[in-house]
Amino acid sequence: MSMSEKSAQSSMQKAAAVMQASPYRTPEMHHESEDGRTAASTGTVSAAAVAAAVAVGAGGGGGAGDDAACCSCLRVLTDQLCSLNAVERKQDHLRLDTTFSNTSAVLDSSGGALTCGMCHLDTKVLLLVMTLLQTVINWARVGSQKALHPSDAPPVTFGEWRVSAEDGNVIRALLVNRVLAKSTSTVEVLRQRIHEVSINANKSNLAFQMMDAEALRSQLGRLEHSMREVTQIIKAQGLDA
């Protein structure tokens, strides 16, 4: 037997040994030949089975699959909360454009988390979404209560025409109302998710999830109260256009 033939035979024997230990063995590998040896021991192995065995080896026993099964919603929401906290720490006065831009980002990430197939019923994710919404709604409430700071009133123009300060206030109220309308839609989805969590907890008799659902309902009530306050402030100013 030549050296190349010996090398090929050795490679096939190693492959057969791997396949004997692999959970991905194919039916033909269990078939015994006339002299009592398995087909695998003679080197007759499926190409698909070899590929599967290599994939298992490269994946370190399934770790790669576990990583693929994870979503980034919790991390995205947590990073966003840290970002909002940093803004509050650095600024005593929050410009409305800061509020609007951050609210838009919060609503986008919240919408993604609430429709994520993996975490839309995760109570920690739901709590984070409500905490983020509560933060930006508080900003909107403070911004609506006080008179506009000079630096909080960037000029609004339409072509070459500069909008008056009075009309600028109307635009401000309109934008706040838009934020509230979008937030209301998100709150309705939150209510549905909390209801689903409660139903699942009752079916499975999971005491800790029942307590989580109760805490989430309380937090949701607080958020809705804050949103109503902003609406009342806008109406009291006669700017509910």
Amino acid at 207: A
Both tokens of residue 180? 């509230």
pLDDT at 153: 60
Say if CB 187 and CB 220 are below 8 A apart: yes
For residues 62 and 85, membership in a common domain is answered with no
For residues 89 and 44, membership in a common domain is answered with no
For residues 139 and 203, membership in a common domain is answered with yes
**Segment 155-195, tens digit of pLDDT:** 777 788 888 878 877 887 788 888 888 999 999 999 999 99
- DSSP-assigned letters across all residues of 120-132: TT-HHHHHHHHHH
**Does a structural domain hold residue 186?**
yes
For residues 43 and 111, membership in a common domain is answered with no
For residues 35 and 63, membership in a common domain is answered with yes
**Does a structural domain hold residue 113?**
yes
For residues 103 and 164, membership in a common domain is answered with yes
For residues 108 and 156, membership in a common domain is answered with yes
**Segment 54-66, tens digit of pLDDT:** 333 333 444 444 4
Global pTM value: 0.66
For residues 92 and 204, membership in a common domain is answered with yes
**Does a structural domain hold residue 221?**
yes
**Segment 57-113, tens digit of pLDDT:** 333 444 444 443 578 999 999 999 999 999 999 876 677 888 889 999 999 999 999
For residues 163 and 190, membership in a common domain is answered with yes
**Average model confidence (pLDDT) for the chain?**
74
CA distance 22 to 52: 9
Q: Is 197 exposed, middle or buried (0-12, 13-18, 19+ CB in 10 A)?
A: buried
**Does a structural domain hold residue 163?**
yes
**Does a structural domain hold residue 241?**
no
For residues 120 and 26, membership in a common domain is answered with no
Give residue for tokens 């024997």: 13
CA distance 3 to 24: 31
For residues 201 and 161, membership in a common domain is answered with yes
Nearest alpha carbon to residue 104 among 133, 76, 79, 63: 133
Give the structural domain span for 13. Answer: 3-68
Question: Residue length, the chain?
Answer: 241
For residues 111 and 54, membership in a common domain is answered with no
